[in-house]
Amino acid sequence: MTGLPVTGPAGTPPAGTSGAGPLSGYRVVDLTVNMTGPLATMMLADQGADVVKVEAPQGDVIRRLGSGRAGTTAYFANLNRTKRSIVVDVRQPDGRDLVRRLAEGADVFIENFRPGVMERLGLGAEELCASHPALVYVSITGYGRTGPLSATPVYDHVVQAVSGIAARQADRSGVPALVRHGIVDKATGLSVAQAVTAALLARARTGTGSRVEVSMLDVALNFLWPDGMMNHTCLDPVTELPPIANTFRLTETADGFVALITVTDDQWQGLMRASGRADLLEDPQFKTSADRLRNGGKGMRMIATVLAGMPTAEVVARLTEYDVPCAAVTGLDDVRTHPQVIASGSLEETIDPYLGRVVQPRPAPRFGGIPEAPRRPAPGLGEHTDEILGELGLTPDQVLDLRRRGVVGGGAATFDREDPAG
């Protein structure tokens, strides 16, 4: 690399790391954008890993997608807290060399571009792992590396269609629908985060890293299958009952909606008594759980007629008295003030330097006996470029030269021509 030292990382502890969290001491180089990869790497950062987010000069596209201000959005902030951002133009040879240098000092390298993109840049797994055998190299794709769709652009919406999720969401008239948030993206992020920690555990035993590949299609199918495909699992003849999916419907009240479900005999009996239809307890159509799966739609329509005349609060109170699982539907504006959400400490309010006051979920896993890693707001574009380059051993003059040549901290679009997965 022109004008840069040829030695590896400086070896000093990463700035911004606290020594807290179960992943403290691990470094992740994150070349992902959109939601799949950024969610995975944010989970790792929440657990103490030093996540270096390598961004193109124009930044992750979701910095500009959705509601926000001051050059960032809530969408970006919700997926990138506690990371550090460095801007590198990998179209330039010196930019690619910087990314290689970052990978040499990392434990994990994650990317989510179409198959072949990283290889064309000289940043593929074969090249990086050859010089760093302990590296865990993670690739997120839409459909994997083979097949008729492998080279096509992929987002959550289209994977929901291909995987059967949209068909599973069909209403009573049979019209399919999409789940109205990035369910595949998020399930993929969760799968990637788990796979990373599994690969690091294996490396602790063997001393060797691994290549991890996760496709959104594989994740979507795994996510849908246990209950969503229960009637499409057995290829030989079996006794077929209506799918569990039929139970995922809301029940209208006089002033709103409630979700309720009965699985056990006691819960079904409680629902009958709470709704004043104890007479149905002797109806042979509803005696067993199999009977209720077969005929439950008819029974629930009878119950719905009763509950539709009651206020929501009364419905919830009656069902709760009989230990029937239920909840009123909470409006989006009311989620953060729900008594259970407050009591659980599930959300926390912080100050974002760009967005002002924000409310976000705290990390779901809570580790007893391990100090919690502090959380920081999502970084500004290239906020930590100089800091990270300093850790690589570059002098201020060398950093300035890179900036002048547009290798870091600016330049034309880098990744826009290659659609990432999710």
The pLDDT value recorded for residue 73 is 97
- Residue 298 token pair: 């008819």
Residue 218 belongs to a domain: yes
Q: Is 185 labeled as catalytic in the residue annotation?
A: yes
Q: Are residues 203 and 308 in the same domain?
A: no
Report the pLDDT value the prediction gives residue 288, as an integer from 0 to 100: 77
Structure tokens at 106: 């990392």
Is position 18 within any domain?
no
- Domain holding 137, by residue range, is 27-225+347-404
131 CB-near residues (< 8 Å, 6+ apart): 100, 104
Residue 193 structure tokens = 């985060």
**Is 279 in the same domain as 369?**
no
What are the Cα distances from residue 240, in Å, to 184, 288, 330? 28, 15, 34
Residue 351 is assigned to a structural domain of this protein = yes
Q: Report the candidate in 13, 87, 79, 8 with the shortest Cα–Cα distance to residue 50.
A: 13
| 162 lies in some domain | yes
Quote the crossing angle between the two packed helices 265-274 and 312-321, to the nearest 10°: 140
pTM: 0.91
Instruction: Tell the residue number behind the tokens 């496709």, with chain if given.
Output: 215
How many C-beta neighbours within 10 Å does residue 163 have? 23
Residue 95 and residue 146 in one domain: yes
List of the chain residues with pLDDT < 50? 1-14, 16, 410-417
Residue 296, pLDDT score: 64
Does some domain include residue 338? Answer: no
Residues 314 and 363 occupy one common structural domain: no
**Domain count across the chain:** 2
Q: What is the CATH number of the domain that holds 131?
A: 3.40.50.10540
| Spatial contact of 88 and 103, defined as CB atoms under 8 Å apart | no
pLDDT of res. 3? 38
Spatial CB neighbours of 211, under 8 Å, sequence gap ≥ 6? 125, 129, 137, 139
Q: Which residues contact 189 (CB under 8 A, 6 or more apart)?
A: 35, 36, 37, 38, 39, 40, 43, 422
The angle subtended at Cα 234 by Cα 232 and Cα 235, nearest 5°, is 95
185, 333, 334, 397: the catalytic one is 185
DSSP string computed for 245-281: GGG---EE-SSSEEEE---SHHHHHHHHHHTT-GGGG
Last residue of a domain, one of 328, 359, 377: 328
Whether residues 76 and 161 share a domain: the answer is yes
What span, in angstroms and rounded, lies between the C-alpha atoms of 128 and 132?
A: 6
Q: Are residues 310 and 381 in the same domain?
A: no
Q: What does the pLDDT read at residue 417? A: 42
Q: Tell me: do 219 and 255 sit in the same domain.
A: no
Within a domain: 242: no
**What are 139's two structure tokens?**
């690739």
Token digits for 167?
A: 């068909």
Indicate whether 7 belongs to any domain. no
> Are 323 and 351 in the same domain?
no
CB count within 10 Å of CB 371 equals: 13
CATH of the domain at 301: 3.30.1540.10
Q: Are 6 and 160 in contact (CB under 8 A)?
A: no
Kindly state whether residues 377 and 278 are assigned to the same domain. Answer: no
Contact 107/27 with Cβ under 8 angstroms? yes
- Residue 295: predicted pLDDT: 73
pLDDT at position 414 is 43
Contact 77, 372 (CB under 8 A): no
> Is the same domain home to 41 and 184?
yes
CB atoms within 10 A of CB 133: 11
- Token pair recorded at residue 62: 């979701």
In this structure, what DSSP letter does residue 380 have? P
Judge if 261 and 318 occupy the same domain: yes
**CA distances (Å), origin 234, targets 163, 167, 231:** 18, 19, 7
Rounded to 5 degrees, φ, ψ at 313 are -60, -40
Task: Choose one of 278, 300, 328: the last residue of a domain.
Answer: 328
By the 8 A CB rule, do 384 and 102 touch? no
What is the model's pLDDT at position 2? 39
Residues 172 and 107 in one domain: yes
Phi (first) and psi of residue 304, to 5 degrees: -60, -35
Question: Would residue 334 count as lying in a domain?
Answer: no
